[in-house]
Structure 1
Amino acid sequence: MGWQSRTRTLQVFDTELSADTVEWCPLPQWSHVLACGTYQLQKGDDKTEEDSTAPNRIGRLYLFHCNPQPSFIPPLTETQRIDTPAILDLKWCHVPISERPLLGMATASGEIQLYKLMEPQQGTCGLECELRAELGPDRLALSLDWSTGRGESSDVRVVSSDSTGSLTVLSLGEASLTALCQWKAHDFEAWISAFSYWDTQIVYSGGDDCKLKGWDLRMGPSSPTFTSKRHTMGVCSIHSNPHREHILATGSYDENVLLWDERNMKQPLSETAVGGGVWRLKWHPSQEHLLLAACMHNDFHILHCQKAMEGQDAPCPVLASYILHNSLAYGADWSRLPLSNSMPPSPQEPPQTSIGLTQSTGHLRIQYESPTASFDTSLEDDSGQYIPDHTCLLPEKSPVPDPFTSPDRDAQSLSCLMATCSFYDHMMHIWRWDWSPEKEKMPSEPAPSS
């Protein structure tokens, strides 16, 4: 049986400042709430040395209400905007704190800021800054992750990485956000930090020194539990699978998504070339095999990871791609809002029965700009050769696999609401992905004999 994969744009929103992070609230009562963060580099008018070395980084936090029911009305309504320092990362806590949702924000001012979602009498949700903690002077907070990925509400902690290469673990108290420990983890920018959701004493980090590292907080941060150089360029995305124990996904400027078994970090389970630097990875809220990748110069892709997770050493097939952004693909997230399966395919976006990434026939010089504007990464060597040589191994088009494993899979379909954002064109898109079995054609009746 074949399967159809459709993407359909529902709404496009201009964030005015460069957009780099989007996050749907994971709590069921507030799953209609979406946050978007922006980052804008402003250089001073005066051509002084101080202005040239200390650019002003501004941001804005947007809050939206979403009603995705089929209609001619755009599903997204802006409910709040807050001017802030430039935002590098946003993450909602996976459990309510004091019965309210809590949004964490990593800022260019070197702070982790926590915003509580309030519901005034008029019924419109709004964010209020609740707590903040400084990571240290002369640094940008680059990422954060909560220890609550599997719904554990005891000992709530946050891990953050910053532009000095340091990691900080913070504990959330009743009225405080307190640093428990901080240590130098990477030689250059520590782009990403993440908890193992199955053992929250384990923290992972990735840096611009091309290293992926693990840390056991029980042993202290004096030395990592492992250091992997399997990625060949800066490691900028890590996400622990909340549904499948020991499974970890990592991404890099080297344009590869690697899947790992946390019990053996010497060799990845699989390697998938996605044709662009992998800035963010997000596992699906309920389907353990589906992984969303924001691939910078090469759009957004949904990967199917079942075979890799079962130990079959093969790239993860691409189930769907969303290619309508016109700039760097940075922010991406799955919504938990339920959707009807009645949405027709757009005439401009025909059904896709198979999707793959194919090798480009030409050569395009790619220069990645750091979102902190602190460095550029050229993907060419001195002789002009394209550095990520895996592009010749991009998976060819193949039948799209069935992502479901239940006995009733022939009757199943899946509809997902997505939010993605891109940088220089300052755009956020709301779109849906529909995955359904193809209807079998009835055999034609034989012509009656004369």
Structure 2
Amino acid sequence: MGWHSRTRTLQVFDTELSADTVEWCPIPEWSHVLACGTYQLQKSDEKTAEGSAAPNRIGRLFLFHYNTQRSFSPPLTETQRIDTPAILDLKWCHVPISERPLLGMATAGGEIQLYKLTEPQQVTCDLECESCTVLGPDRLALSLDWSTGRGDSSDVRVVSSDSTGSLTVLSLGEASLTAVCQWKAHDYEAWISAFSYWDTQVLFSGGDDCKLKGWDLRMGPSSPTFTSKRHTMGVCSIHSNPHREHIVATGSYDENVLLWDGRNMKQPLSETAVGGGVWRLKWHPSQEHLLLAACMHNDFHILHCQQAMDGQDAPCPVLSSYILHNSLAYGADWSRVPLSNSAPPSPHEPPQTSAGLSESLGHLRIQYESPTASFDTSLEDDSGRYIPEHFSLPEKSSAPDSLPFSAKDSQSLSCVLATCSFYDHMLHVWRWDWSPEERRGESDPDPCS
């Protein structure tokens, strides 16, 4: 049975400032909401004590609405933009708080800001700043993670890492965060921090000191439960698998993705070279074996991790790659939006136009040429009209021969993803279809949400 993987660009958006983080809302009722954060370093005329110019880091938070029914216009509509300090990380709480989605933001001002999504029943939503908690002076907040990865709404907490090498655990009260504990965890920048979603008293952290560490809050932060030097450069991404207990993925500037069993952190289950520093890792929202990697200098990849998770000591094969960004691959996330199986509108119907802010800032005319020239794409025709995803599809590619039989026997998938890149300040929304050859044309694949 032949299997095929296909990626299709749905929309490209210019964020104007360097884009480094993108997050779909994980709560089903609001899965159409997408947030994107930017980071821009500007020179300042203000002088520091050493006589050098003080850095000025600015950012902008974008909010988008994704419309699955638009076939002849871009699916993404910008609904809001907020000027902020430079944004290093964004994470939605996985459960509603006071019946509303809550977005956490780590900033270059050393703050964790919380934004509440308002008017969720309307066509468009807005973010409203709920609170701001300062981690400490003279630091950048580099990452954050919520304890709610498996949908647990009890004792909601946030962990954040910062540029001083410290970790801070904060507890959510009445829509505000209170620091519970803070400690020095790494010698240099603590790039990443994450909860074990199966035991939220357990934390993981990674730093520029090349160390991956574990912490148990019940034992106090005086010493880590383990310290691993298995990565040879700075550890910058960690994600606990919300579907498979004990499984943790880590990534590093050393260009490797490691899979671990949390019960034995002396040796990883697998090591996969991905050809670029691994800035972000995201497990699929419903498929335990699929892992999305943002690989800085080497684009975005979807890894199949089943063999490694089952203890077969094998690298994770790449199922698909998205190569149409022209800069550092930083932000990446899976969407939970249900995909429409309806047929495209009749060609006699006039094409719809974008609504709201996207009329002036909307889709871009962009053509990419990859080394193989097989992924050239344009989101406008010669008349300037938007080309929907039903047309001009990239060529399909076969699945790797090394996939286990269980993968070849699994269901078809169709997923929407969002990725963003830094210096070219671009946000891409794209679709990935994974299906057996003989089923093509019979029916649309099941959505991944």
Give yes or no for TM over 0.5. Answer: yes
Q: Secondary structure at the match of 1:303?
A: strand
1:2-151 matched pairs, under 5 angstroms? 2-45=2-45, 52-69=52-69, 71-119=71-119, 123-151=123-151
What residue number does 2:433 align with? 434
Deviations 1:107-129, CA, capped at 9 Å, x for gaps: 00000000000018964200001
User: 2:114–2:176: 8 Å Cα contact kept in structure 1?
Assistant: no
User: 1:8–1:346: 8 Å Cα contact kept in structure 2?
Assistant: no
What residue number does 2:233 align with? 233
Q: Secondary structure at the match of 1:116?
A: strand
Q: Tell me: CA distance 1:58–1:44, structure 2 relative to 1, closer, same or farther (3 Å).
A: same
Q: Secondary structure at the match of 1:293?
A: strand
**Is 1:350 matched with 2:349?**
no
State the superposition RMSD in angstroms: 2.0
1:211-360 matched pairs, under 5 angstroms? 211-340=211-340, 347=392, 349-354=394-399
**Is 1:423 matched with 2:405?**
no
Deviations 1:10-41, CA, capped at 9 Å, x for gaps: 00000000000000000011000000000000
What residue number does 1:364 align with? none
Deviations 1:207-260, CA, capped at 9 Å, x for gaps: 000000000000000000000000000000000000000000000000000000
Q: Tell me: CA distance 1:93–1:439, structure 2 relative to 1, closer, same or farther (3 Å).
A: same
Identity fraction in percent: 84
| Alignment coverage as a number of residue pairs | 395
What residue number does 1:367 align with? none
Deviations 1:168-204, CA, capped at 9 Å, x for gaps: 0000012431000000000000000000000000000
Q: Secondary structure at the match of 2:91?
A: strand
C-alpha displacement of 1:68? 2.5
Q: Secondary structure at the match of 2:307?
A: helix
C-alpha displacement of 1:134? 0.6
CA distance in 2, matches of 1:27, 1:84: 25
User: 1:44–1:52: 8 Å Cα contact kept in structure 2?
Assistant: no
Q: Tell me: CA distance 1:345–1:249, structure 2 relative to 1, closer, same or farther (3 Å).
A: farther
Q: Tell me: CA distance 1:246–1:24, structure 2 relative to 1, closer, same or farther (3 Å).
A: same
User: 1:258–1:272: 8 Å Cα contact kept in structure 2?
Assistant: yes
Amino acid at match of 2:248: L
User: 1:345–1:351: 8 Å Cα contact kept in structure 2?
Assistant: no
Deviations 1:54-95, CA, capped at 9 Å, x for gaps: 200000000000013361110000000000000000000000
CA distance in 2, matches of 1:127, 1:46: 32
Q: Secondary structure at the match of 2:281?
A: strand
C-alpha displacement of 1:267? 0.2
User: 2:45–2:53: 8 Å Cα contact kept in structure 1?
Assistant: no
Structure 1: 5+ residue stretches without partners: 356-397, 442-450
Q: Tell me: CA distance 1:5–1:345, structure 2 relative to 1, closer, same or farther (3 Å).
A: farther
C-alpha displacement of 1:413? 1.0
CA distance in 2, matches of 1:116, 1:50: 40
Q: Secondary structure at the match of 2:398?
A: coil
CA distance in 2, matches of 1:440, 1:47: 65
Q: Secondary structure at the match of 1:52?
A: coil
C-alpha displacement of 1:131? 1.3
Bigger relative contact order, structure 1 or 2 (CA pairs below 8 A, ≥6 apart): 2
User: 1:214–1:226: 8 Å Cα contact kept in structure 2?
Assistant: yes
Amino acid at match of 2:164: T
- TM-score normalised by structure 2 residue count: 0.84
User: 1:33–1:63: 8 Å Cα contact kept in structure 2?
Assistant: yes
C-alpha displacement of 1:49? 6.1
